[in-house]
Structures are given as C-alpha cells and as structure tokens.
Amino acid sequence: MSAFASLVEGLAELLEPLFQASSAAAAIVLFTALVRLLVHPLSRASARGQRARAALQPQIAALRKKHGKNPEKLQKAVLELHAKEKVSPLSGCLPSLFQLPAFFLLYHLFSNSRIGGEANSLLAHQLFAAPLGDRWADALGNGGVLGAPGLVYLALFVIVAAVATFNYRSTKRMMAASASVAPVTGGAQGEQQVPGLGAITKVMPLMSFLTLFTVAVVPLAAALYVVTSTTWSAVERAVLYRDMPGAAPAAAVLG
C-alpha cells in the first residue's frame, strides 16, 4: 500500500504545475488511463470473442430447432459448439475482473487515515472543493447538493448517467440484433442456452446504472477511477464493436 501511495504522490507532483490543488485527482485519472491501456488487449480479445459468438448464432439456431424439446441436450450441444470453435461465453468478463485490484487499491488508500504507520497525506488533496477521501454523504453535510463539494458530485453523476444511458441503449440494440439473427425456436424469446447466462442477460442492460450507486458510496478518489474507467469503456466499446449488428456508430460517442 505504501508503494502505491508513493506512486500516486509521484504522479501528483508531476502534474502539479498543470493542475495545482487538483493534481492528485489528475494523477488518478492518469493512473486509470494507464490501467485501461494495460487491459486494452483483453478488451480487443473480448470484442473478437463477441464477433465469434455472433458468427455462431446460425448454428445455435439450428441446434435449438433440433433439440428444442430437450433443454439439457440443447445446453450440452451449445457448450460443445463453443468448445469446438474455441469461443468462451464468459470472455467479456475478463477486462472488468482485471481492473478490480486497481479499484480496491484506490478504495483502501483513500479510506485509511494512516499508511505505513504515517499520516495519509493524500487525504488532504481535493478535486476542486471536494476532498478525495470524502464520500457523497460528506458533501451533502458540507453545503448540500448545491454546495461546492456537492456540485463536484453532481457533475460526476451527470457523466455517469450519460455513459450509463449510452451503454443501456447500445446493449439493448446489440441484444435485439442478436435475437433477430437467431430467433428462438420452441422457447422464450431471447432465452440464453448457456447455463448461468440467462439471468445475466436480462439485467445486463441495467448494470451500468449501478455505477451511480458506486460513485455515491465510495471515496471520491475511487469514484473518480470508476467514472474515468466507465467513460473509457463506452468510447472503447463504440470503436471496437462498431461493425457489430446493432452497435451505435463510434461518432455518436466520439463526436
């Protein structure tokens, strides 16, 4: 933890001439960008996997028609097809999983008053008027929603809501396009035949809105990581999935 604190402090010192009192916040944004660059190869692999799964839809539709009255046999046949084509139905989870350690490091770093037996000097840093170690509840108690710290959170909520709305619409479009390519025969529309993915598919379009809750309850430094990472994800997804059926044009995000 001490080494990570030194890294953030070092980045903040480098950025201080440009960002002054908000240099630590800028360091967190830069750190997030570096993490996302490291994870980017996994994101590209996930996009390739998504294209491969889309290409399998006609074969899966044929399997549904053949085994529609035997769900267990259908699930086995679909899993065997994925294994044969070397396509993992869970590959899209890897980029998120590899980011969790960085998020938890920031969470713990800005949740502790002492690091390595010494006072945590990072807690004195701010994003404009909001201390990086505070939470939304602290901002509400220090001027309310329209107070100086509250306005910082309001700006973050607006960004997260905009990104979540884009992700919601994009996911719904891609799911609808996938369903139109391989309509379900003998089952509920859009039903997933990979075990454990049915429930996930139903709530997937709403997952992005959970970020609003995360931003509200974690320290501001961790919230800044989440906001930066989710915004990066939206732009990255628009670019990597631009040729997928139902995907929004990249210009909708980049413009």
Which three-class secondary structure string do you get for 82-101?
Answer: HHHCCCCCCHHHHHHHHHHH
Count of C-beta atoms within a 10 Å radius of residue 79? 14
More confident residue, 77 or 135: 135
Strands 130-131 vs 126-127: parallel, antiparallel or unpaired = antiparallel
Q: What is the pLDDT of residue 185?
A: 38
Q: Lowest mean pLDDT of 199-203, 210-214, 222-226, name the range.
A: 199-203
Q: What is the pLDDT of residue 75?
A: 81
Q: What is the pLDDT of residue 170?
A: 79
> How far is it, in rounded angstroms, from Cα 236 to Cα 223?
20
Q: In which residue are the tokens 């915004």 written?
A: 231
**DSSP code of residue 245:** T
Asked if the model's pLDDT at residue 66 lies above 60, the reply is yes
Q: What is the pLDDT of residue 91?
A: 59
Q: Which helix (H) or strand (E) holds 62?
A: helix 57-67
Q: What is the pLDDT of residue 199?
A: 55
Q: What is the pLDDT of residue 15?
A: 94
More confident residue, 229 or 89: 229
* Rounded average pLDDT over 211-225: 94
Phi and psi torsions of 146, nearest 5°: -100, 10
> How far is it, in rounded angstroms, from Cα 42 to Cα 90?
12
Dihedral sign, Cα of residue 218, residue 219, residue 224, residue 229: negative
Residue 234, Ramachandran bin (φ over 0: left; ψ between -120 and 50: alpha; else beta): alpha
Q: What is the pLDDT of residue 130?
A: 94
What tens digit of pLDDT does each residue of 158-202 get? 999 999 998 888 777 766 665 554 444 334 333 444 444 555 556
More confident residue, 10 or 76: 10
Return all residues near 116 (Cβ < 8 A) that are at least 6 apart. 1, 2, 5
For the chain, what is the mean pLDDT? 80
What tens digit of pLDDT does each residue of 67-126 get? 877 788 888 888 777 777 666 665 566 677 788 899 999 999 999 998 888 889 899 899
Count of C-beta atoms within a 10 Å radius of residue 108? 14
Could you tell me if 183 and 61 are in contact, meaning their C-beta atoms sit under 8 angstroms apart?
Answer: yes
* Rounded average pLDDT over 195-216: 70
Dihedral (Cα; 6, 9, 15, 16), 10-degree rounding: -150
Q: In which residue are the tokens 């929603």 written?
A: 145
> How far is it, in rounded angstroms, from Cα 140 to Cα 130?
11
Asked if the model's pLDDT at residue 216 lies above 90, the reply is yes
> How far is it, in rounded angstroms, from Cα 235 to Cα 242?
10
Q: Lowest mean pLDDT of 9-13, 94-98, 141-145, 155-159, name the range.
A: 94-98
DSSP for 154-214, written as a single string: HHHHHHHHHHHHHHHHHHHHHHHHHHHHS--SSS-TT---STTHHHHHHHGGGGGGHHHHH
> How far is it, in rounded angstroms, from Cα 68 to Cα 221?
50
What tens digit of pLDDT does each residue of 34-57 get? 999 999 988 888 777 777 777 777
More confident residue, 110 or 248: 110
